[in-house]
Amino acid sequence: MSRMLAYVADRPLTPREAWDEGVLDAFADLARLHADGWGSAWIDAGGGVGSAGGVEAFEPGNLDGAAASVARIVYLRFASKGSPALPENTQPFVRDGLAFQHNGLLAPRDRGLGLLAPADVAQLVGTTDSEVYFAVVRRHLRAAGPDESARLTAIAAAVNEVRAVYPDACLNAFLLDDSGLFVVHSAGRAATPLPAFAERGFTPDLLPPGHGPDYNTLRVVRAASGAFVVATTGVDQDGWDALPVDSVSRIDVAGIRSVPIEPAVAGAGIRSVLMTLPNFREAAPNAVATLVVQLAVTKLDALAVISLAVDSPVLAAGSARPRIELDGGAWAEVDIPKFGEPPPLAIDVRSPLGLEHARLSALALAAALEREAGWSVYPDFPVAAP
């Protein structure tokens, strides 16, 4: 539930040279809400990874005098309950020549601990779920070796292992090594944590920019400095591009290379009885039930109508696969014909709980659209007679 900012350049730059005043000041303003500490990591002159930070809210002056670097990441923390603002909980974490920061909530934490060997658990120093996630990533990277392609694949495999036990969580993360940046863009079905913001007095009308439906979208731009800049929402991202959904990207002076995070094999990574409790939902291919609407309507308009009909926001807006959460854990996506082709409009209702649940959720959505929008909706699957 925190905010992240990074750059990668072809020459050493200070933070203000890389990001410019507007981006850095807008990012710093987010610390009014994300006020539980800050951290930064960078590639130092010797090729290692340095870090600094504190448990106080970030201020722009914290980076005044910061060393010029070819790459830097910065983190503003919004603490999860049970993980207070302590130095050992401050991100980015630095271990084994790697710096790692994560935006999301993995609860309960014990479920993630079940992914770790006792030796890995013994190396944890704080109480955050993000440190557990980092330990899983490091284990995969140790097995991958130095080859860049192998490291991309290893990080994707680590994300899949964590996703198997946290099906809905946001797993967006930055990982900095001695030659560049890896970015995980895998937001899951995590909603913007509006109730947590409201507990701090930030009702929707008082929230900073970028705290709406696209809260968990990561975007990148080539800045005027020539650096690649990557950020969570909250800074002006007009003209920026969303990174591919469910991907791991390598960003260095040569450019951006992305690999998809393929669907996990059910049961992958299971190492502990903690993960085999009866209420644990293993990752499996999501079942799909399709609804058909004979309307000529844009995808954005269709999403808006569905959102209003079920009173649920559009998540991952601006990405390749925006979606709307439905009751019971299912969600809806919209597919429209290519330009110039006639209707129908297709609404895919997906569920991790199986085909029957997907179909029941689709029928409930169809009833809501007929009731609230006056649409005639037809299920593209068999429906038992009443």
Mean pLDDT by 10 residues, the chain (386 residues): 95 94 93 96 94 94 93 95 88 97 94 93 94 97 91 95 94 95 95 91 93 94 95 95 94 91 49 25 61 84 90 76 82 69 77 83 92 90 74
Is residue 272 one of the residues assigned to a domain? Answer: no
Is residue 179 one of the residues assigned to a domain? Answer: yes
Q: In this predicted structure, what is the pLDDT of residue 385?
A: 60
Is residue 275 one of the residues assigned to a domain? Answer: no
Same domain, yes or no, for 191 and 293?
A: no
Angle separating helix axes 299-310 and 355-373, nearest 10 degrees:
90
Q: In this predicted structure, what is the pLDDT of residue 325?
A: 85
Cα distance between residue 159 and residue 5, in whole Å: 20
Domain count, the chain: 2
Tokens of 204: 């929707």
- Domain of 310, in residue numbers: 286-379
Same domain, yes or no, for 290 and 228?
A: no
Amino acid at 66: A
Same domain, yes or no, for 53 and 170?
A: yes
Among 260, 278, 309, identify where a domain stops.
260
Same domain, yes or no, for 237 and 102?
A: yes
Which of 103, 79, 104 is CA-nearest to residue 90?
79
Same domain, yes or no, for 85 and 209?
A: yes
Same domain, yes or no, for 59 and 133?
A: yes
Query: If residue 40 lies in a helix (H) or strand (E), which one and from where to where?
Result: strand 38-43
Classify 167 as helix, strand or coil: coil
Is residue 78 one of the residues assigned to a domain? Answer: yes
CATH of the domain at 310: 3.30.310.180
Classify 231 as helix, strand or coil: strand
Same domain, yes or no, for 245 and 347?
A: no
Same domain, yes or no, for 185 and 327?
A: no
Is residue 62 one of the residues assigned to a domain? Answer: yes
Q: In this predicted structure, what is the pLDDT of residue 69?
A: 97
Is residue 276 one of the residues assigned to a domain? Answer: no
Same domain, yes or no, for 19 and 141?
A: yes
Is residue 42 one of the residues assigned to a domain? Answer: yes
Cα distance between residue 380 and residue 362, in whole Å: 10
Q: In this predicted structure, what is the pLDDT of residue 343?
A: 61
Q: With contact defined as beta carbons under 8 Å apart, do 80 and 107 qualify?
A: yes
Same domain, yes or no, for 83 and 186?
A: yes
Same domain, yes or no, for 328 and 195?
A: no
Q: Note the pTM of the prediction, 2 decimals.
A: 0.69
